[in-house]
Structure 1
Amino acid sequence: MLNVAQWPMEAIVLLFAGAGAAIAVTGTRISGTADRLADVTGWGEAIFGAVLLGGSTSLSGLVTSVAAAAGGHPDLAISNAIGGIAVQTFFLAVADAVYRGVNLEHAAASLENLLQGALLIVLLALPLVFRSAPQSSIAGVHPGSIILAAAYLFGMRVVMRGRRQPMWRARRTEETREDPGGAGATSRTKRRLWIEFSVCAAVLLLAGMLIMRTGVEISERTGLSETFVGALLTAVVTSLPELITSVAAVRRGALTLAVGNIIGGNSFDMLFLAGADMAFRPGAIYAAMTSRHALLISVTILMTGVLLLGLLRREKRGIGNIGFESVLVLVIYVAAMIMLATG
């Protein structure tokens, strides 16, 4: 691992910014590749955004949390994981502002995204339960991490079944936009797309390691808490692919992909805690959770609940041509960051 302890502060900040730029550029590239793969594989953009696009654009954040836990920084690991989910929900409000037709949640009606939102609330509640439960372990891993991973897999199975055999359907309106489909592709084209996708994912993984190392140094040298650095700095930077892919998807008219990328990626990001728990050797990562982490999780549950209300209500227009849910998400997120910075 690159040792930056002896580097000047300016060089560390520059490396942090460079890794962030690599994440941003690669995130843009992987968005178009994933959108094309969604067409040629026939998975459907809501599911593809949740499983593969959401997971790959989260690689940098996953590496940051796992590496932070392995290095003895559980505060940063937890804050980066949950802070990333919060900021990505915030980014969905930004994507709503970019889409100038009607409220994004009105135009991108999708049962899969509703199911993903419900799954995310369940996954967010679990760490709060594990924090208060006995801190036992199985082969050095808290049972809660196994439950968290199992809950994610079961939830994704429910989402996929819901897509194949929907019992509820969103009502179509004149403003409802279905994601544009794509033509088939040859085996050679598919292979090229998968190679490109894999290379982009590898770049995101490496950048995540750099973000973790420089983030720790920034926290130590500036005196900022790891909770604040994780929830704001590293979480925002490692979440840039979600912002870029969602805004790019909105501009291409792939609205369901935009929403599915955020919500599905958020569900995947809950696995960061399971990975961090496996990497944290002094004990269970949930025992290291503080009241500030609990606040961050509670706020994220609140933001997700508000987003679900918006997806169900499907308001056409609201304040500033965005829905009421986007306005509330913006306000809640800013208030939470102020509380973390001053608390």
Structure 2
Amino acid sequence: MSLLPLWLLITIFAAAGTVVWFAGIQLSKTTDIIDSRLHLGSALGGLIVLAVATNLPEIAITVSAAISGNVDVAVGNILGGIALQTVVLVALDAFGKRGKDVKPLTYRAASLTLVLEAMVVIAVLAVVVAGSQLPSTLVFLRLAPAGVLIAALWVTGLLLVRRAGAGLPWHENGNAPASSRHQSGHRNRTSSSNPDASGSGGGTKMSIGTAVAMFAVSAVATLVAGVVLEVSGDAAANQLGVSGIIFGATILALATSLPELSTGLQSIKQGDDNLAMSDIFGGNAFLPVLFLIATVISGKAVLPSASATDIYLTALGILLTFVYAIGLIFRPMRKIASMGVDSVAVLCLYLVGIAGLFTIVS
């Protein structure tokens, strides 16, 4: 693909991004239906099914890099987009629901369960930073301690979130007053957001078989289009002379975050503000679990291959997640440019962080 002209690469990149966008909308709709029909609870729906599906491009790229032995590519792919995926919440806050009387996203979605999910992300990323300092020779039975601990933390987080979804020993089960009404941790059902309704709005019931089939097709489309995004984007960046690190942390990260953006906007449209945030936190907590898979495939300790920029972006992801956790607790009502003050803070910190990234690369 590197031999193709620049205009064609840009066209392919844009086309793949469009496919990812619309596939993400279908993933959100069908996940809602599957979750409701099979009674999975949104902890599983948001943190496993949807989070894994929207990160299929990253999974494919990581597995491919591990098979070829390019573990540094696997590390950069996993850590490069976590900060920007958190910034997706800024877009969801600004464009998810518009109106003078609409409260910020963290005010509407506030619950202790979401705070717990944010803490899981911070814990996992903290282990990433620590694990990057371990010797690369610390491997036993194709397993590295940091990867195993990350996977254990992720599973423990799922169990805790599932338990929190059944109820917390707090007022209103840990759901803030006047926040989005939701059941089993996150799910919000209203007559206007019937998960069984078809996209035509005619009230036709969608069978579980149809929902699963649509989910599978959308997942495959996300996977294929996501890989095309990565390959075409990398080739275009080389022709433009853009640093691979900068391009990967900005344009490519934004493109591969399109599934999270489209599913988040769809979730908010369906009245499920909590699932929109859960998908972002769930995806960010899940991505480092790929280090375990990459180590098993390659037989090498992957995390010690992390570069200074990888660790820098990981720290930035921790900081941005912390800001949103604070926002979920304090629930700021003030809005600036259609965003909550926490989203404004996250956007500013991200822009400053990217400016700092330029200084590292240069």
Fold conserved between structures, TM > 0.5: yes
Q: How many angstroms apart in 1 are the aligned matches of 2:82 and 2:51?
A: 11
2:291 paired residue number: 273
Alignment of 1:1-343 (within 5 A): 4-71=1-68, 73-98=70-95, 99-100=97-98, 101-135=102-136, 136-168=138-170, 169-174=173-178, 176-178=180-182, 179-180=188-189, 182=194, 189-280=207-298, 283-343=300-360
Q: How many angstroms apart in 1 are the aligned matches of 2:65 and 2:311?
A: 19
Question: In the alignment, is the contact (CA less than 8 A) between 2:74 and 2:294 conserved in 1?
Answer: yes
Question: In the alignment, is the contact (CA less than 8 A) between 2:23 and 2:218 conserved in 1?
Answer: yes
**Aligned in 2, Cα 1:216/1:167: closer, same or farther, shift over 3 Å?**
same
1:201-259 CA-to-partner distances (Å, cap 9, x unmatched) read: 11112223323333443444444333223222322111101111111221221111111
Question: In the alignment, is the contact (CA less than 8 A) between 1:79 and 1:226 conserved in 2?
Answer: no
Question: In the alignment, is the contact (CA less than 8 A) between 1:102 and 1:175 conserved in 2?
Answer: no
Query: Gapped runs of 5+ residues in structure 1?
Result: none
Q: How many angstroms apart in 1 are the aligned matches of 2:41 and 2:317?
A: 27
**Aligned in 2, Cα 1:13/1:187: closer, same or farther, shift over 3 Å?**
closer
Q: How many angstroms apart in 2 are the aligned matches of 1:188 and 1:138?
A: 48
Deviation at 1:192, TM superposition (A): 1.4
Q: How many angstroms apart in 2 are the aligned matches of 1:219 and 1:70?
A: 24
Matched positions, count: 339
Normalised by the size of structure 2, how large is the TM-score? 0.85
Normalised by the size of structure 1, how large is the TM-score? 0.89
Amino acid across the alignment from 1:325:
D
Question: In the alignment, is the contact (CA less than 8 A) between 1:65 and 1:276 conserved in 2?
Answer: yes
Q: How many angstroms apart in 1 are the aligned matches of 2:10 and 2:72?
A: 21
**Secondary structure at the residue paired with 1:270?**
helix
Amino acid across the alignment from 1:256:
N
**Aligned in 2, Cα 1:224/1:274: closer, same or farther, shift over 3 Å?**
farther
Query: Gapped runs of 5+ residues in structure 2?
Result: 183-187, 198-203
Identity, % of aligned positions: 29
1:76-128 CA-to-partner distances (Å, cap 9, x unmatched) read: 43333223221121111111112231011111123321111110001101111
Deviation at 1:322, TM superposition (A): 2.7
Deviation at 1:75, TM superposition (A): 4.4
Q: How many angstroms apart in 2 are the aligned matches of 1:93 and 1:342?
A: 25
Deviation at 1:34, TM superposition (A): 1.4
**Aligned in 2, Cα 1:286/1:175: closer, same or farther, shift over 3 Å?**
closer
Question: In the alignment, is the contact (CA less than 8 A) between 1:81 and 1:235 conserved in 2?
Answer: no
Query: What RMSD over aligned residues (CA atoms) do the two structures have, in Å?
Result: 2.6
Amino acid across the alignment from 1:153:
V
2:185 paired residue number: none
